[in-house]
Chains A and B, each alone.
Chain A
């Protein structure tokens, strides 16, 4: 009885897994297909693979700098968010002051803000100071939402460290700031790493802010890919090649932080 249910459940899960993965797999296959195989009316599962799409798009079409841009933007935004956000998270975890929870919630609303509502005024603002079309504009925009993720996630990690550790560090002669930097941050290192990876992922995957704030110079990959899609004669092999480069590192990272993913996605409300 329970055994046949189990087999049924495994069947369902395998089907779901196939549905979840096949589209991505197809994209992966397409990136190794020649033009004729891509455009074949009958789907080609077995074909003679070619590596040509990759050099064509990254070197001939000059998409390599976009990878660099994506990296620069994601790394800078992650670093900035952590440097500014972690100390704030520590305060939220340790001290009490009037209006603390309201300020905390205020950080959440910034995370929840629809990008389209913030992107318009940011665009106007950066136009005003002449910083549109620079990486800097995108880094700032991404930091605005990553910062609240850091504050919400790291509060939980810091709160898990007993207060006695701070107190012991201070009895050992450290200042409050010293206790935070030298004792608490190292103890929360796994949490810091998980948060950093999540920040990186969100920034790397982000589209709308970057799309509005940079037109050409400083374009990350996400903004670059749609440019390859034209109403007629899209080179899907090349599109797929860029998409693979834009997604594969993310999947590796996902595996690394899966344990903390739940916490990141629910802003600390659910422990994974």
Chain B
């Protein structure tokens, strides 16, 4: 197809993205360089250069706490979800013949709205009448049946566990698809070469799955880094700032304190990290496979 014919087909999509995504992004970047605030009439959006970023990086302890909290959250959830999800996928692939219904049921936690996930778990973890709280207490896993989300040392472990509950099926689904599309021949060749099950796993299966493992880790990493909905519903970032992930911090600065200039700088930092993860994703996975994936 020549360029003349393709331009009208591709232009609307590009324009839409430019106007409603790149435009706002540019506007946000500009706002980040101003002191705009709806809560302080003196700050009406004057240009202040990199002051917001300087303050954010040098003096904002809460931002850094939130940043490291987010990193720890991402590291913990992605690791646990990957190990569990891969193990489950392997079991299904190895032992179950009719998988469709099983997989569909497994997907329930991931497909329902994150807001609903947050509400379900808020209900389950209530102090006085939470179903899960009750059984945890009954089996001695919880000292007293008090609301999990108002017990500071339990908040982050609970949030991580819920994220694992919600997203492990994602890893299972994709790794299962990957396992099912593995070619048979390399494994048979390895068998004839004398490799036992463990060597076949490390020498043949893992190398073949490597691009997909990278893809799963990065997609989950990016999503976990942006986490907002369910944590916002469950704890709102609290108690205090104990579960205040970056997105929630950015939300607070923008829409609670109405410091839009400074909030834009925070939002910019969030975007920056995601963009870096994104380009790793592209280089690692799509760089070579975008066309081959379409072909296979």
Contacts and interface: CB of A to CB of B under 8 A. Distances in A.
**Do any CB atoms of chain A lie under 8 A from CB atoms of chain B in the complex?**
yes
Interface of A: 5-6, 9-10, 12-13, 16-17, 19-21, 23-24, 26-27, 30, 38-43, 84-85, 87-88, 90-95, 97, 101, 103-110, 112-118, 120-122, 124-125, 140-141, 143-144, 147-148, 151, 155-156, 159-160, 176-177, 180, 201, 204-205, 207-208, 212, 221-222, 225-226, 229, 236, 239-240, 243, 246-247, 250-251, 254-255, 258, 261-262, 265-272
Contacts of B145: 41
Most chain-A CB neighbours within 10 Å: which of B254, B274, B294?
B294
B107 to A, nearest CB: 6
B116 interface: yes
A207 B31 contact: no
B25 interface: yes
Contacts of B291: 159
Contacts of A143: 16, 20
B1 A226 contact: no
Main secondary structure of the interface of A (DSSP, over half): helix
Most chain-B CB neighbours within 10 Å: which of A9, A10, A117, A254?
A117
A88 B14 contact: yes
Contact of A117 (B173, B211, B250): B250
B251 A88 contact: no
Interface in B1-16: 1-3, 5-6, 9-10, 12-14, 16
Contacts of A262: 173-174, 177
A193 B250 CA distance: 36
Interface string B102-114: 1111111101111
A91 to B, nearest CB: 4
5 contacts: A90-B9, A93-B294, A97-B6, A250-B113, A269-B285
Contacts of A118: 21, 24-25, 28
Nearest to A42: B134
A125 B102 contact: no
Nearest to A19: B165
Contact of A124 (B3, B31, B109, B165): B31
Given A42-B134, A43-B134, A115-B226, A243 B16 contact: no
A147 B173 contact: no
A23 B14 contact: no
B134 A13 contact: no
Interface residues of B, number: 99
Interface of B: 1-3, 5-6, 9-10, 12-14, 16-17, 20-21, 23-25, 27-28, 31, 88, 91-92, 94-96, 100, 102-109, 111-116, 119-124, 128-129, 131-132, 134-135, 145, 165, 169-170, 173-174, 177-178, 181, 211-212, 215, 219, 222, 225-226, 228-229, 233, 247, 250-251, 254-255, 260, 263-264, 267-268, 270-271, 274-275, 277-278, 281-282, 285-286, 289-291, 293-296
Given A26-B123, A266-B215, A156 B106 contact: no
Contacts of B96: 9-10, 13
Contacts of A121: 23-25, 27-28, 31, 264
A5 B95 contact: yes
Contact of A112 (B100, B264, B278): B278
B123 A240 contact: yes
Contacts of A16: 88, 106
A258 B120 contact: no
Given A115-B228, A201-B111, A207-B115, A24 B174 contact: no
A198 B260 CA distance: 33
B20 A122 contact: yes
Contacts of B28: 117-118, 120-121
A261 B107 contact: yes
Nearest to A14: B102
A24 to B, nearest CB: 5
Most chain-A CB neighbours within 10 Å: which of B27, B113, B123, B271?
B113
B177 A247 contact: no
Given A116-B247, A120-B267, A243 B120 contact: yes
Contacts of A247: 112-113, 116
A271 B296 contact: yes
B3 A95 contact: yes
Given A13-B91, A272-B177, A116 B226 contact: yes
Contacts of B165: 19-20, 23
